[in-house]
Amino acid sequence: MPGTITPDAVAPGLAGRSAFRSLLLTLPIGLWGALMFSRSLDLPGMAPKLAALLTLHFMIVLFFQMMRTQETHRWRRIFFVTLGVLFPVGFIWDLITLRGSMSIAVGQMIGGETPFCFLAIPMMIVPAALTKTLIFPGSILPTASNPHAVAPMIALWLAATLVLGKGWCAYGCFFGGIEEGCAALAKKPCVRNVDPRWRWAPWAVLAAVVLLSAATYEAVYCSWLCPFKAVTEFPEVRSAQTALQAGIFGSLFVGLVLVLPFLTKLRTQCAFFCPFGPFQALSNKLSVFEVRMDRAKCTDCVTCRRACPTLVLDETSVARGRAGMSCMKCGACVDACTKGAVRWHIKGTALMASPETARLLYLFPAWAFATLFGGSIIAETLTKLLQLAH
């Protein structure tokens, strides 16, 4: 039964799936989620248990809707925005509880108390390879004062990257949700004509931060350019330099994460600034999942190009029938195409092979990872909020 889905709302052939089949397809994710959150049942107090149940329910319902409606982007976005909003809340909560402030003193930084963030990975590679120096001031293994250490995050990122490629940016990144939420708030974009050459800007930011980090032995992006320092952790303002850094963080956050996404309906920070995006895009060469266009069905209506939140789709890529290397597989273009020309695809299979099978094979690991990683962040923050309410 297609339920509330009308034939006009979805692409041909995507008329929805029966509730029973959708439930069957959701079952593995439900079991995986139950396994992931079962450890919360051993924790003392009601808050962790309730938070785990709410999160599990949330993840299962969203996945069920993905199965039922055969749409991806809409439901993924709900998860992603929730993660993006709740992550800073939980993070700031931890910082205030542990240190009494969002700022970190130089002594604490030297002591390796900086929680590790995946955005630093590209900057660490060259100094680590050339001189065996880890330029991030965090600890390698988790400690009591810093549970978010380097090694576990890199292991998690690597595992997700090998399977999802740049899908990390749509299912794993705990920063992108804020701008995706801001972009979703506007009904129509106020700014439409963005010079496509800006798409190359993140590659330039990546090149600059990698080269300068190698030259200065400092995580340049984290020290100077990260917009998300404004909602996580920043160096204590004690000098003109740290005041300037704080000013840059705040301005970039307001501009790239709040205002510009609302004006353009794009993920502007991801599309035009984030150096991790292009670095992660290289992993799309490893991932077997991709988005392709069936040129026989395509009418060049540019709906898919308008739907892409990071301007990855352009005239050339559509003509070539393949999304660019920077595609983060969010599914917006696939869902937007009313002709069914844009489809999920597994490399090495025929283009006409079932796109829904390819989508399912991609969604299972993606959602399992989202439940494990993002889900646990959501549950932890919910626990804190419930404890606060109690």
Enumerate binding residues for other proteins (CB under 8 A).
Answer: 126, 130-131, 195, 197-201, 203-205, 207-208, 211-212, 214-215, 220, 241
How far is the C-alpha of 390 from the C-alpha of 388, rounded, in Å? Answer: 5
CB of 291 to other proteins, least distance (A): 19
Of 50 and 126, nearer to other proteins (C-beta) is 126
CA separation, residue 172 to residues 27, 157, 367 (Å): 22, 8, 10
Of 41 and 129, nearer to other proteins (C-beta) is 129
The one-letter amino acid code at 223 reads S
How far is the C-alpha of 319 from the C-alpha of 339, rounded, in Å? Answer: 16
Q: What is the DSSP string of 165-191?
A: GGGHHHHT-SSHHHHHHHHHH-SS-S-
CB of 201 to other proteins, least distance (A): 5
CA separation, residue 73 to residues 103, 179, 188 (Å): 35, 15, 18
CB of 190 to other proteins, least distance (A): 17
Of 208 and 263, nearer to other proteins (C-beta) is 208
Of 93 and 203, nearer to other proteins (C-beta) is 203
CB of 165 to other proteins, least distance (A): 19
CB of 168 to other proteins, least distance (A): 21
How far is the C-alpha of 308 from the C-alpha of 333, rounded, in Å? Answer: 6
Q: Show the tokens assigned to 319.
A: 């003509």
How far is the C-alpha of 35 from the C-alpha of 237, rounded, in Å? Answer: 43
Of 173 and 209, nearer to other proteins (C-beta) is 209
CB of 324 to other proteins, least distance (A): 10
How far is the C-alpha of 269 from the C-alpha of 92, rounded, in Å? Answer: 21
How far is the C-alpha of 321 from the C-alpha of 185, rounded, in Å? Answer: 31
Which is nearest to 186 in space by CA: 260, 259, 265? 265
Of 147 and 196, nearer to other proteins (C-beta) is 196
Of 198 and 285, nearer to other proteins (C-beta) is 198
CB of 198 to other proteins, least distance (A): 7
Of 42 and 195, nearer to other proteins (C-beta) is 195
CA separation, residue 330 to residues 76, 165, 238 (Å): 8, 12, 41
CB of 207 to other proteins, least distance (A): 4
